[in-house]
Chains A and B, each alone.
Chain A
């Protein structure tokens, strides 16, 4: 009888977890982070172990599931560079070189812990499937698996706040479960237009001991763009979007 009660209790506790639709939850988290189409200003800061830092400011435009473009506004050495992502295709435009060059998602345009996939990130639900959800006290822990081999990180361990349905921490892992980097989402802020989300993302990596990277978000808002904005021809003209 006692075993029966424990079994029923365990089943009762477990039911809400199984009741959660992982895909739907991930989609909700995506929408809480940003509208499907938007413009965004970001500052990326690489901090070295001795405290020295290097900062980049980017203007980003995203449309739909698979179109992202970013323009470097600062520092002067990178100003005018732009990156474009169309699904798994990525390009970099350097004004001096004068033409877009295909790049890979694992390369890094800015150096440091960030790679191109971090800078031109698509919705999590478009790149990952939810394999498992754990119901923790105040958080969900989602175990995500990349849908294709071209996604930069094969597995994500994704902690999301139950109340705000926004990420708290994400561990990026290889197929062999090696930790590549950890993202910490901090300081939830109301950006207007119904967008309430973490405004700071800190990153560290066991591959870069002592180094830290920070993304600061400002000026995110919903915006529609024409498809032609996300083409190679438009890359040198991205400044005209601002």
Chain B
């Protein structure tokens, strides 16, 4: 921890000194310096070490470390490279975004490159765009969660602004501006093929799925209506909205209805059953800026597909029993079943029913520019367990971003955060954009 903090301070001080030496020239500006080129290459490279403080009594520690003995902490070193490139000619544009991750942890040392996006666009007019290829749709207005993001991979509420891998789709965007209370209308139909080798992690194979989004800017309120159907997932409908109530207050919400949702449930002995029902998810949130430049982001999320506290407790009890079976008799059958349940159901990013997200960030504290301290609380309202993550970031050096954060993961035995593998987590990120 001390090492990471010292590294953080040293890196910033060294960079500030270097920049200060470079500062000599007068500022000048010619628009011709920024003439448009037909191609563009950019991205970022980052170093991202993480330190985990292990909770050896927790169920998920037992599940992940049942056959190994770790100390009180584990380290993970990550190096990431995101590359973006585009080529534009007339109404045609090609765009690709790749993400290469190097990870060195107690489990493994891996390097993996993923194409996050790769698409061709045709824009014959400013109101019509057709796209084909791998892309992210990013539906929904929520900051930490998006129950209406039917076509996206799940967002990590611990880092909601990270890029994510898209799916291969064909889509159109038709937009019309109007006068009167309805200022804008957009229609976005999307085709999502799901076959062997194409979007095969989206849902059931051998279906051509169809989704659409209708957007309205009506009475200064953003409103989206959307649906997904086709067979790979059960049919679902959604709605979201966002509106500024004042020059410093924004509110937003999302609602989705999932037809015939199938939920796998285990009891404390590992007997599984499937519950089928129409699931309702919703989110309400606000973003508020005070006179002192403190930003509050507050969101409540009801996950109708999630597990209640008793169901979560049963699962953790089952893991404890499976672990006991393994340590006393060397039998891994139950542990394998628990691992399988984690990957398919209970191990989701947010497996429980009701969550609250609160992020408070202070821009330029004490009038010092580019430093932003913040604290993020994510809590499971039902079992009162939570993760609390204070952080500080610095963006004062052109094209560099520094972030140091760390905090406890707290909860009683049997609660969601109480049974996480870690007691605390500290991470540091230095990112350079080019």
Residues on A lying within 8 angstroms of B by beta carbon are 41, 43, 45-46, 48, 50-55, 57, 59, 73-77, 79-80, 86-90, 94-99, 101-108, 111-112, 117, 149-152, 207-209, 211, 214, 216, 218-219, 225-234, 237, 239-240, 242
Contacts and interface: CB of A to CB of B under 8 A. Distances in A.
B140 to A, nearest CB: 8
Contacts of B186: 231-233
A184 to B, nearest CB: 16
B287 interface: yes
A242 B16 CA distance: 34
Contact of A55 (B27, B242, B364): B27
Interface centre among B123, B138, B184 (most CB of A within 10 A): B184
Given A75-B398, A88-B244, A228-B126, 18 more contacts: A51-B23, A54-B396, A75-B433, A76-B42, A79-B42, A89-B217, A89-B244, A97-B138, A99-B138, A102-B243, A104-B244, A111-B364, A112-B364, A208-B364, A211-B369, A225-B126, A226-B127, A233-B188
9 contacts: A45-B27, A52-B16, A55-B27, A76-B433, A102-B222, A149-B247, A226-B126, A226-B177, A237-B121
Interface string B380-401: 0000000000000001101111
Given A111-B369, A218-B31, A106 B248 contact: yes
B205 to A, nearest CB: 26
B115 interface: no
Nearest to A103: B250
The 6 closest A-B CB pairs, nearest first, are A219-B31, A227-B177, A99-B138, A77-B433, A228-B127, A41-B31
B123 A237 contact: yes
Interface in B159-201: 161-164, 173, 175-177, 183-184, 186, 188
Given A43-B27, A149-B246, A104 B88 contact: no
A216 to B, nearest CB: 4
Nearest to A227: B177
Contacts of B19: 52
Interface residues of B, number: 70
B29 interface: yes
Contact of A52 (B88, B175, B364, B396): B396
B34 A89 contact: no
A74 B34 contact: yes
A204 B234 CA distance: 57
Contacts of B138: 97-99
B20 A73 contact: no
A51 B16 CA distance: 11
B215 A233 contact: yes
A150 B163 contact: no
Contacts of A94: 161
A109 B252 CA distance: 20
A96 B129 contact: no
A111 B31 contact: no
B247 A237 contact: no
Given A104-B244, A152-B247, A231-B186, A98 B177 contact: no
Contacts of B295: 107
B30 interface: yes
B399 A75 contact: yes
